[in-house]
Amino acid sequence: MNTEKDFSPLTPNIVRALNDKLYEKRKVAALEIEKLVREFVAQNNSTQIRHVIQILASEFALSQHPHSRKGGLIGLAACSIALGKDSGLYLKELIEPVLTCFNDSDSRLRYYACEALYNIVKVARGAVLPHFNVLFDGLSKLAADPDPNVKSGSELLDRLLKDIVTESNKFDLVAFVPLLRERIYSNNQYARQFIISWILVLESVPDINLLDYLPEILDGLFQILGDSSKEIRRTCEVVLGEFLKEIKKTPSSVKFAEMANILVIHSNDLIQLTAMTWMREFIQLAGRVVLPYSSGILTAVLPCLSYDDRKKSTKEAASACNHSLMKLVTPEDDEDEEETGSSDSQPREDSPPKTEGDTNVSAVTYFGVCVSISLSCVLPFLPVFSLLDSADRSQVTLDLDGIVQVLDRHLHDSSTGMMTRIAVLKWLYHLYIKTPRKMFRHTDSLFPMLLKTLSDESDEVILKDLEVLAEIASSPAGQTDSSGSCDNSDSKLELQVPDGAKAGPQTVVGDASPSTPSMNSYFYKFMINLLKRFCLERKLLENRGAFIIRQLCLLLHAENIFHSMADILLKEEDLKFASTMVQTLNTILLTSAELFQLRNQLKDLRTQESCALFCCLYRSWCHNPVATVSLCFLTQNYRHAYDLIQKFGDLEVTVDFLMEVDKLVQLIESPIFTYLRLQLLDVENNPYLIKALYGLLMLLPQSQAFQLLSHRLRCVPNPELMRTVDESKYIESKPVGTKRPAYTHMDYNDLLQHFDRVQSKHLEVRHQRSGRADHPDRKLVL
């Protein structure tokens, strides 16, 4: 430095001492400067004061010589001490050169700069608040300084500044938040610790309402919550906990919607529990305000439901979120816009923007896959939210299109966990219950996936899926479809709807339960597609067919299920499948507890409706001869059963055929046919029952089933009476109580002819498949 240069009013001795390499000499110079500035203060000579500060800043603190910079820093601190309460008038000139030295490569000089600033701030106290942002910016850099002495000095300055902010009521939070929002995304651990400590301090000051600006820093807080440092995570948890307490105290002033969108983008394991906890509180506190953004919430919540016990807390929080959100959907959400009044037809300022075509793919749904990016990257996609006041909360719009898209996407995703799939199906069922009219607009797009879900490996998933399909098939909202969703031509399906079937299967009048659901236009579509799926996936029919049909009989009226399937199978071209399906249906009919009422209805055939049902089943049951005989046994058409068995001699007796006869013998010994076995006691009035059973016995080879049935027939009393009596005498001798009404008499000859026609088709198809059409008399060698 040029010592001959004029530095007045600083004396040459002061200048020389400020440039000295010894700290003690620079300290002596600082005391002289302090004395000089006090004199100027006494004289109220601000010009000279500014001149001294300017010389110390430009000629010393910003000098190229390191000792000069150290002298300038201690000189500026001395000026501040001398100025006392008046230092606030010169803070800009005092602070700026000191902050510049924070970037010096010499760690000792950075320490002296920190020491100088500490003295300046200590004297000025609250007067430094207008310069808080530059001080905070400088301190945030020193917080990550590699030198421990510098870090220690910055911590002292940091505590002093925090004390000043805590004591003051003039802190400019509006000006500070943009800087905080910027610095909160730092990846440096020390910088993060510095940031989070300041947020904790500001949150504790009663006069500072940081909650209003929480949406601007919440994403950054969750980023910090994922830090690898346990101490930083713990501090961040404390901060978030304080914010959540305040939210619970003053929910009316909280911007729930904006923060809900931030929460859904965080799926990191370390922060997901906190995000789910916050989301749960938001839903419970804000209520229907969050409904427009429910698709984004579900995107974040649903995957968490399949977590194992290692993430039990997160799973429970997500489950609570899901349950609370589901309860917000009410029947009023099913009202069309034109029904809610002209005011609702106008777009709301706070509603999420619609995309072209009104597909409503909201930004929050998109956020579900933006886990790795920061909020600053996705802000352009955020809809403009504002918290609805209490008067508007009842007028919020359910984002049904967005919800359905999220649910459908999870069903299509093969990696979706079982509990998530169950939750998705529960949501669909809930939406069909609460908003059926709007949901039926989505039914055609959902229907294929719901049918595919029947192949799921989980029984619980299949049960929920069947509940949804049953609701679709029976909901009154599906009776008429203005959107034309049921206009698809049935000719496009492999299984055809019989003539007159589109009106839906006839519901029994006399025997129907009062709770029998009325079937809509989707019922037959469901039955057709279900049978089509069984046809294409034989494993599904084999492993889950009975389970699915039994559950449908519980959810929908059993008669409707069997009547419709029989109608459809009557037109089935794949005769092998038709036979297998009839065998499955027959086994369910004869063995399932769910079919008790239907069996009783068919047992006596005492009503015209039950006779019509029998004829409908019979025509389809003819695809399987043994099933047809068992149906006759169930309905006590013993003579017709005997006539059918007589025809078995003309059929191709295969191993599968004999196995079915074997199963029928086993069924005769089951509780289902207790009444049939008791009728064997009345030999005179049931001769054709006995002859039919002997017919089965003659069909069987010498097997266990043969021995079982033979032993049963040996128990029939008085075999002498087994001879056939004259039919007219038989009818006259039969007790009046056992006669069926006259209108129940059916044309059994027509039924036998139908049986012959069906069996001829089966025989022809089998011969074509086996290449044995030229050898119709060839029999199976046992």
Per-domain boundaries in the chain: 1-171, 400-477, 557-719+743-769
Give the torsion sign (CA, 387, 390, 392, 394): positive
pLDDT for the residue numbered 770 = 64
Query: Are 1-171 and 400-477 the same fold in CATH?
Result: yes
How many C-beta atoms surround the C-beta of residue 653 within 10 A? 15
Whether cis (ω within 30° of 0) applies to the bond prior to 347 is: no
Report whether pLDDT(513) > 70: no
**pLDDT, tens only, 122-160:** 999 999 999 999 999 999 988 888 999 999 999 999 999
Q: Does domain 1-171 have CATH number 1.25.10.10?
A: yes
Report whether pLDDT(402) > 60: yes
User: Which top CATH class is 400-477?
Assistant: mainly alpha
pLDDT for the residue numbered 38 = 94
Alpha carbon distances (Å) from 222 to 214, 240, 352, 509? 12, 9, 24, 62
* DSSP state at residue 622: T
As a whole number, the mean pLDDT across the chain is 82
**pLDDT, tens only, 40-84:** 999 999 999 999 999 999 999 999 898 999 999 999 999 999 999
Report whether pLDDT(508) > 70: no
Confidence of residue 263 (pLDDT cuts 50, 70, 90): confident
For the whole prediction, is pTM greater than 0.75?
no
Percentage with pLDDT > 70 across the chain:
81
Alpha carbon distances (Å) from 87 to 78, 83, 124, 403? 11, 5, 6, 61
List the structure tokens of 627: 């099933």
Residue 466: CB partners within 8 Å, gap ≥ 6? 454, 548, 551, 552, 555
Q: Spell out the alpha helix ranges (H) of 88-172.
A: 91-100, 107-124, 132-142, 148-167
Classify residue 564 as exposed, middle or buried by CB count within 10 Å of its CB (0-12, 13-18, 19+).
buried
